[in-house]
Every structure is written in structure tokens, then in C-alpha cells.
Amino acid sequence: MAEELIITNNLSKEEKYQELYPQIFALIQGEDDLIASLSNMMSALKYGFGWLWVGVYFVKNSELVLGPFQGPIACTRIQLGRGVSGTSWHKKETIIVPNVDEFPDHIICNAASKSEIVIPVFNKNNEVALILDVDSNQLNDFDEIDKKYLTQIIQLIVPLL
């Protein structure tokens, strides 16, 4: 396993994803533990892009419970349909929020968060098993490119569910 990520400066967002994807793939290759793989994946994304917070919440019974993350401390439990993450779980769809202040019922875990993307991950029964939550301290930081590549990246852990 490589000890350090290769992160080139001045790449476009898409080039950065293309540089990171094979490295994240290699990081979790051969590791069948879900928590270990998610932990390294969250670190690679956080340090690759410099976002404020990158992490997952697991669906456990009737709520989301905090899983591996990188960034400031966060809310540990979120109810179905609450906040961006609970809404993504409820609607079973990715949500991009350009300005969290304009999202009704946004849950403030950290006041520095300005925009976010939340992507649900499905198990073999097509139920949401976890959600990926990425927060930025910049407004309007996420778009369809992030949706495309972050979905591909988080999908890598589906065989471990």
C-alpha cells in the first residue's frame, strides 16, 4: 500500500478526481473491512480536495449514525427526513446544496459549512445503507462533476456492505 497520496497542484476538478480515483481504488483493494476502507477513503478525499468535512452516516434502525469521517466533530445521529442527509436518505437521491442557509431544515454541525453534497449508497436489497456527506467552507462548491466522481468512488465500498 502506498504511504502517501500523489496530489498534483493546479489540476482541474475533473483531473483531480481522475488522479485520485485509481489511488483510492488501490487503497481499498484487498481490504475487506468496511470501516478500514471507508476511513482511508474519507482521508483521501479530505486531503485530496481540502474540503471542510468528508464522512459517512450509516442507516441504523430509524436514524443515521455517524461513521468514519475527516474534519471537525459532527452530529452523531440524524433522523429520517431531517437535514440534507436525512432528506437524501428519505428521497433515495443525491442532493447538492449550493448554499446551506437556503436549504430548509439544514442541520448545522459546523458553522463554517457553506455548501454540501450528499450521496446515498444502496445495498443489494436496494435499501439505503449509508450516505456520503461532503461539506465545503465555500459557497457553491459542488456540481455534476462531483456527483459523478464521488458516486463512482463511494460505490467502491458496495461489495463490502
Residues forming the site for ligand SME (CB under 6 A): 53, 74-75, 78, 83-85, 106-107, 109, 113, 116, 133, 135
Please identify the residue of the shown chain whose CB is closest to the bound ligand SME.
Answer: 83
Of residues 105 and 143, the one with the C-beta less far from ligand SME: 105
Least distance from C-beta 146 to ligand SME, angstroms? 15
Name residues whose C-beta falls within 8 Å of residue 126's C-beta, 6 or more positions apart in sequence. Answer: none
Least distance from C-beta 51 to ligand SME, angstroms? 11
Rounded-to-integer distance, Cα 140 and Cα 116, Å = 8
Of residues 5 and 107, the one with the C-beta less far from ligand SME: 107
Of residues 44 and 78, the one with the C-beta less far from ligand SME: 78
Of residues 137 and 151, the one with the C-beta less far from ligand SME: 137
Rounded-to-integer distance, Cα 107 and Cα 90, Å = 15
Cell 467502491 belongs to 156
Rounded-to-integer distance, Cα 69 and Cα 55, Å = 4
Least distance from C-beta 69 to ligand SME, angstroms? 7
CB of 131 within 8 A of CB of 121? yes
Rounded-to-integer distance, Cα 53 and Cα 86, Å = 17
Least distance from C-beta 2 to ligand SME, angstroms? 28
